[in-house]
Amino acid sequence: MHMDRTAAKETTGEAGNAIHLLEVDEDLAAAIPEEDRELAARNLVVPVQHLEPGRATGLEQDPHPGGMLLVDGFMTRDVEFAGQCSRELLGTGDLLRPWDFERDYHPPFSEAGFTVMEPTTLALLDDRVLRFGARWPMLVDELLRRATQRSRWLAIRLAIGGVTRIDERVLLFLWHAAGRWGQVTPAGIALRFHLTHAVLAELIGAERPSVTSALSRLRRCGRLICERGTTGTAFILVGDPPGGVSQEPD
């Protein structure tokens, strides 16, 4: 597999403005006791960084104690290892700490980076967030849950990668993503981000031609609606989630 370079433009992002964190993240707001929520929402203001589609650079150069919270958009974490490429899909609600890199646990021939798939906004969780966490510990508890959630997501992705048939692998991955970011429409469950076939292949551990063929089969049998855009394909999942997988090859 080869890392898709259709979004080869590099972006370091734009900073300089701020958001009321609890107004853009309902789950964080719910972690604050109701009687204190208005006070917290008014005062918990954090700087943000805006990223345009392309290869993101410099994210690791400005550490923030609480990390970076993805409040809008989609990006991937890209790992190149021994000539192979893999991606992790990141979306609204995910917590990032790009500056954490334990080199002792990474072979010298591995590299990691980020690609912005859609215009993305990162909330920079500075030390004031930790000070608020001292007053409302459940705020920190929710952020820790976000960090754990990514590891669980990756465990499911590993299981999906072990499925024999590529069309089933594609469908399982898209339904899993829909569980977090899907939107109900009259036609089915819509995923609003766009992916190229090459990126989707790297997300599920397959070859691009196999993914293209799998998408065609899923479209023909009515399980998937593909909406082509200028930056890739968006998907609408039709019917019920898959109940199991077969052991037959493609």
Question: Tens digit of pLDDT for each residue in 22-52?
Answer: 999 999 999 999 999 999 999 999 999 999 9
Residue 78 lies in a domain: yes
What tens digit of pLDDT does each residue of 137-187 get?
999 999 999 988 888 988 998 899 899 999 999 999 999 999 999 999 999
Q: For the chain, what is the mean pLDDT? A: 86
Residues 185 and 150 grouped into a single domain: no
Helix, strand, coil abundance in the chain, percent, nearest 5 = 40, 30, 30
| Final residue before a domain boundary, out of 109, 126, 159 | 159
176 burial type by CB count under 10 A (0-12 exposed, 13-18 middle, 19+ buried): middle
User: Does any domain span residue 52?
Assistant: yes
Question: Which residue matches tokens 């203001």?
Answer: 45
Looking at the structure, do residues 171 and 85 belong to the same domain, yes or no?
no
pLDDT at 231: 78
Q: Is 250 inside a domain boundary?
A: no
Is residue 178 domain-shared with residue 148, that is, in the same domain? no
As a residue count, the chain comes to 250
DSSP H or E segment with residue 150 = helix 137-161
Task: Render pLDDT for 82-112 as a digit per residue (tens, 0 to 9).
Answer: 777 889 999 999 999 988 865 555 566 667 8
Assigned token pair, 234 = 């968006």
Q: Would you say residue 33 lies in a domain?
A: yes
Strand segments (E) across 117-166: 120-124
pTM of the predicted model as reported, rounded to 2 decimal places: 0.85
Q: Residue 211's domain spans which residues? A: 164-237
Boundary of a domain, candidates 99, 128, 159 = 159
Cβ 205 vs Cβ 164: under 8 Å: no
Task: Evaluate whether residue 248 is within a structural domain.
Answer: no
